[in-house]
Structure 1
């Protein structure tokens, strides 16, 4: 029996989107996913799931850069065309906003991609490959 079938037999179904956005374990939905702000914990403290499969790579950063960049640049262009504030005010508004939104969205995106990776068994083939 595979590990995925064993998980379904012993643990209730966990919605990967809800668990990822809440930074919870993709198997039990209870334990923490992160040990720090973006550092993935070694294992779940509730069910013992080993998080060594979790490799989100650059996916979260790419999504965050594209989405937050689109929103911030769009807002900056709207404000420039509508109100024409001085350049220093643009920097004062948009740089902190872009940094804050990016940091907040990175944790959400990374948690979401890791739980979706677990739910779709994306790491199983990677673990069997020779080094």
Structure 2
């Protein structure tokens, strides 16, 4: 049983797949784009032909984005407020813009990583040989 698990893990290594997903590329070849139109998943990889229509990211990328942005912005906001005590409107404006921009940058990357994770762990139809 442990030989099968070791073979499966070596067959589709997780870390390279996640790195490819971070770049919004195909988790198998790393060349073709996994996403188009910001968050829409391509049907297939344009380079290797991997069927990406099986991917089910759903709300996972949004939750991960909120988690990361919240954990980055909250301590920064705390330090800025108690160190410099800016005007509340300045604080609101700067941190709102920071949250929006960082969320928009992270969301497609998180979706690519969720798709890559599903592929590497053979979830949601990615379990069949490609």
Offset at residue 124 of structure 1 (A): 3.2
Counterpart Cα distance in 2 of 1:46 and 1:71: 36
Please show how residues 49-128 of structure 1 align to structure 2 within 5 Å. 49-124=50-125
Question: What are the ranges of 5 or more consecutive residues in structure 1 without an aligned counterpart?
Answer: 127-131
Counterpart Cα distance in 1 of 2:48 and 2:58: 25
Offset at residue 49 of structure 1 (A): 1.6
Q: Secondary structure at the match of 1:77?
A: helix
Counterpart Cα distance in 1 of 2:59 and 2:31: 26
Counterpart Cα distance in 2 of 1:34 and 1:26: 11
Query: Following superposition, which runs of at least 4 residues in structure 1 exceed 3 angstroms of deviation?
Result: none
- What TM-score comes out, normalization by structure 2 length? 0.81
Q: How much is the aligned-residue C-alpha RMSD, in angstroms?
A: 2.4
Q: Secondary structure at the match of 1:51?
A: coil
Query: Is 1:16 aligned with 2:9?
Result: no
Offset at residue 83 of structure 1 (A): 1.0
Work out the number of aligned pairs and report it: 118
Counterpart Cα distance in 2 of 1:28 and 1:75: 38
C-alpha spacing 1:65/1:26, structure 2 compared with 1 (3 Å): same
Indicate the residue corresponding to 1:26 in structure 2: 27
Q: Conserved in 1, the CA contact under 8 Å of 2:119 and 2:126?
A: no
- What TM-score comes out, normalization by structure 1 length? 0.80
Question: What are the ranges of 5 or more consecutive residues in structure 2 without an aligned counterpart?
Answer: 1-7
